[in-house]
Amino acid sequence: MPDYYKHIFLVPLKEVNYDLLNKIKELSRYKTQQFGFLVSIQDVDSYKQCLAFFHSNHNIYVINPEQSYNRTHHWGYIIQYAKGNIKFDTFSYYFFGDEINLDKFPNITCRNDIYINDYYIDNWGNVKENASAKQLASKSFTYVLKKNFLFGKPMLAPLQKIIFSRTMAGSIFFDSQHSYVSDQLMIYHLINDGAKAKFIKQPFYKLNKKARAFSNCISLIDMLKQQIYLYIKLRCFAGVPMIMLRTIAKHIFYRTN
């Protein structure tokens, strides 16, 4: 295996999913010295199948946690394993149902701690942005972030579009009691504690809403409660009505389509 990767994708799984494993195998052939993949599978039988499946792919690591983790604890476990066992500059998460285009992956200089891609993609032909390039160039990071939260736009989500430098690995912590917004809470706290963050516009990650197992199972009431909790933590009280309206609208749209 190479001693070092520019970027590593973290893939936490409960059990083997061959659709995703085939995607990872295909992606792993692209610039093998630049990109690595760490697949953590909790089910022991699935772990053994995954080891056999990736036995000839030298930039794919497969691990099995020694204990059972919930969703967010598994996210924390996998980055701590990566930090202690793999050399890399940056990392991000990769979840089942989503797509990655490595041709569009940004060239990161690591001058910042967190790189937040300002876009939302559920169709490669329809890239949606929260703020224009002109706004990002002329306004401060904090101003752009707060303004978009005020209008109910979650610029700190989804987690998969955000790139972290290795220096952030030891500070990653997810609030399991508020797992629907735990990624946004974590990123906000990192920035609030002094992490240097930058908005970029280099879309490489497409979210598949229909395959989001957790989002499709959580109730609308729980979504709203956690969104309100997030906005209280951010002290963005004026944005609560808007995020509630947007959450309800998205919930109805995705459940009826």
Predicted confidence at residue 127, as pLDDT, reads 82
Handedness of CA 207, 212, 214, 217 (dihedral sign): positive
Across 94-231, the runs of DSSP E, i.e. the strands, are: 99-100, 114-117, 120-121, 127-128, 162-165, 197-200, 205-206
Could you tell me if 10 and 80 are in contact, meaning their C-beta atoms sit under 8 angstroms apart? no
Could you tell me if 45 and 22 are in contact, meaning their C-beta atoms sit under 8 angstroms apart? no
Interstrand relation of 114-117 and 197-200 (parallel, antiparallel or unpaired)? parallel
CA distance linking residue 7 with residue 5, whole number of Å: 5
Could you tell me if 159 and 72 are in contact, meaning their C-beta atoms sit under 8 angstroms apart? no
The residues of the chain scoring below 70 in pLDDT are 1-2, 209-216, 254-257
How does pLDDT run across 48-93, given as a tens digit for each residue?
999 999 999 999 999 999 899 999 999 999 999 999 999 999 999 9
CA distance linking residue 190 with residue 188, whole number of Å: 5
CA distances from 11 to 22, 36, 131, 185, 241 (A): 13, 11, 29, 21, 35
Handedness of CA 45, 47, 48, 52 (dihedral sign): positive
CA distance linking residue 113 with residue 119, whole number of Å: 19
Predicted confidence at residue 120, as pLDDT, reads 77
Could you tell me if 92 and 27 are in contact, meaning their C-beta atoms sit under 8 angstroms apart? no
- Full-model pTM: 0.93
Predicted confidence at residue 170, as pLDDT, reads 95
CATH architecture of 5-255: Alpha-Beta Complex (3.90)
Predicted confidence at residue 121, as pLDDT, reads 78
Q: Which two tokens stand for residue 169?
A: 């690995």
Nearest to 85 by CA among 26, 8, 21: 8
Q: Which two tokens stand for residue 115?
A: 């790189």
Annotated domain spans of the chain: 5-255
Predicted confidence at residue 257, as pLDDT, reads 61
Predicted confidence at residue 32, as pLDDT, reads 87
